[in-house]
Structure formats: structure tokens, C-alpha cells
Chain A
């Protein structure tokens, strides 16, 4: 067995070079990218918050606007990281052969896949951070505890980015990603307490939602945004982290099987 191709990913600090390459490209296209990552969620926030909020009134002891702001921070991290791990990573893997060029250098596939997951996490963090700024300008954030939501969002975006890379490993075209969005991302968005509280749903749906990572992210982020301490933090973040680590292992294994053959 080739020691460099062991089952477990063994990324090294060299991954930073790949991460910085992606950052450099992003900086060139920053304006349209930021607008997409953050303009759309802000529109949702304003439209739902103001439009719907009046009908709904208070939810779980907070205004609907506050409720939805904390949810949208989580969902935008999920969407941004998923997009990055699918469409953008696929472009680098299959269209531009960026990874192939990297593999001719001292970078290994483990470094590259890890860097892509961390980069997806970074993009998720950027868009969640931008929304957090807007939310605090609108007075939707209680206190400095909200800043603690950022590392949580980073972990969540790492997990969603890694899951997206698993899908990318199987993908033969961009169209394939629609399956994942329709069958996984959108159901998670609707059933994880982003737009309405989970406890309104039948118990079996709640159980299903809690088997997926997004609901756990929302459970931790929402209290932090509204001036409370979340409970069962270890359990919630543990679920997210386990998803992320398993997805990274699977993505590295599958992408290696695809490219190194």
C-alpha cells in the first residue's frame, strides 16, 4: 500500500498556499461575490422580517425579525459553503485543471481537499459576518455574545463545504448539483428552524431535522444572537463536527479515487 495514499487524509500546513490562491481570485471578483453571498440573504431578511413579521408577531419571546436574522446567518453560511464546495471546486477540479497543476508541485491531494474545505468555511464566514454587521446595524443583535456565533458558523461552513466536496467527487457536470440542493440543502433550510421554530413541526420531522447538521447550528447561534447562552453546546457542535470530519475523509478518499488512477 502506498504510504502517501493511506485511507486517512493527512493534510499539511502547505494547504495555506491553496487557500491563499483562492483568496487571491476571490479578491479580484469580490464585489459581485459579496453581493451574491450577502445581498440575497439580506433581502430575505428584510422582506420576511418586515413583511411577514407583522403577521407573525413575536416568536419564542423575540420579534420575528430577530428570530429570522439569527436563522439566516446560519443558512447563508450553509449556502455559500455548499456553492463553493460544488460549483467553484468543480470548476477548479474538472474545468480549469487547477488541482492537476497543483498535483505536479509538492502539494498533495490531501492538502488540496483540506484547503478547499477551509476555503469554503472562510467564504461561509465572510457572508455570515456581513449579515451579522447588517443585523447589528438594524438593532437585531443583543450583545457581544453574537461574535461567538462566528466560530460556530465557521465550523458549520467547514462541514457544509466538506459535504459539498463529497458531491463534487461524484459529479460529472454542474447539473448534478441540483440533486443535492433539492434533496438535501433545501429540505434542511426549511426544516431546521431558520424561518419558523422547529417545535411547530411533527415530532418525527423534528427528529429528522436533528439528524442533519443545520438544526444544530441554529440551536447554538440563535441564543448567542439574542443575548442568551445556548444549552447542550457540546452535543450540537459535536454533531456538526462529526459530519464535517466524516465528510472530509470521504471527500478526500473519493476525489483521490477520481483523480489518481
Chain B
């Protein structure tokens, strides 16, 4: 029974990774950019929750949409200000990567200036113990799993059924041809950033629900792990990002329970190294030839 409990805890943790990993994966799928500033969107989401709830004293149902909308907006602004010109002029991928790092440092430091570097306490939902038969879990774990599954189902419908979703798929497959078929790829790219950042905001809410503490550099390790999840699942693949997130969460939880709490990060990155040497395209990644 203990084993099952650890698996469920792992899924709860993995839900956060999965939601953040989606943003990495979608953006990479569309513009082949590893958006290293994506992890910091979680931080923006966390601080928005904090400001709305703790500073302004507004209820949760205001804070959640505010956080999601602000993150989507920040994602779009980052794309517009930092990346768009590089994309339009077909800059080398390495320039985009360095720019992404710059954006990440900028975000972290501006939040440090505004809020200080000390961690802030935040509480989203009051924590409760849930009992299902002999199985015990924290309410936050249950919320994480339910919310992440719902978000992902909605995302699947959006991407596979809606016209903007189909335009996203087309742009990711061949943006040149998509443009010539009348698809406004600039709009598609902006939408992808907004959608990925909104998902990260939901990840931020779940994160704050699980670990009631925020600080300006909270996005570093979380973002990195979510990125590992995206690569593990096959970067560019939406179901892959979810799967990668859950696997990482469960691996961490089991390591903590049966091996050592200090070794969790080593195990996470060990899994990545193993994966890359066995199947570099990831679990659900398509092995696409690079276009010349």
C-alpha cells in the first residue's frame, strides 16, 4: 500500500512537471526554440497569486484567472519583444537560445527587485488528508492530478479539433507551406506562447498548492526538470510532455521513498541521460529529418 501511495504522490508532483513541460514542448514544436524563460513564467504566476491573494486580499477565484491571464500576456510579450525579430530574420537557433537565457535572468532579477529575494509564504487551498479505503493522500495531490488531467484533455481537444490547433500543427510541420496556405503563422506563434504560458500558470498554482512558498529563482530547477520531462517524452509532442512529466514525478517520489531524498535530482537527470543514449527522440517523439 505504501508503494501505491508513493506512486500517487509522484503523479501529483508529476502533474506540475507535465503542465510546465507542455509549454516547452509546444513552443519547440512551433519554432524549434528551447524557451529557457518558460520556467520563470511559473514564478510570475506564483507572485501574481501572492499579490492578488496576500497583498490585495482578494479570493482565490479572482487570483487564479488573474494569474493565468497575466502569464499568457507575459508569454506573448516575451515572444513579441525578445524573439519575434530573431524569428522573422531567421536568426541562428543559438541566438534565440541565448536570448531566452537573457529573458530568464531579466525576469528573475526584476522580481527580486520588486519583491526581494526572501521566500514568501503563500497558501492556496487548506491542506487536508483524504482517505480512500486504506489509502491516504494529501488533498493537494488529488487536486494536482485532477486539474492536470482536465487541462490536458482540454488541450488535446483544442489542438486536434479547433482551427487554431490545426494551424499550430501545420505550422509546426512546415511553417513555410503553412504561410503559403494563408495561415498567419505570426498569430499562431503568439498564440502558442500564450497557451504554453497559461499552462505554466496552472502549473504555478498547483506548485504553490503543494509547496506553499515562492521565491524569484523558483523557476530554475522546476523549469529545468520540466524541460527534462519534455525531452524524455519527445520534445514537440504534447502527449509525450505529459507522459514525461508523470514519469519524472513518480521517479522522484520513489527515489525519495526508497533510495535517498538527496539523490532525487541525480535520478531525474540520470533518466534523461539514459533516455538520450537509448532513444534520442524521446518516448513519443517523431524521428524527423532536419530540413536543409
Query: Are A and B co-members of a single complex?
Result: no
- Which A residues lie at the B interface, using CB under 8 A? none
- Which B residues lie at the A interface, using CB under 8 A? none
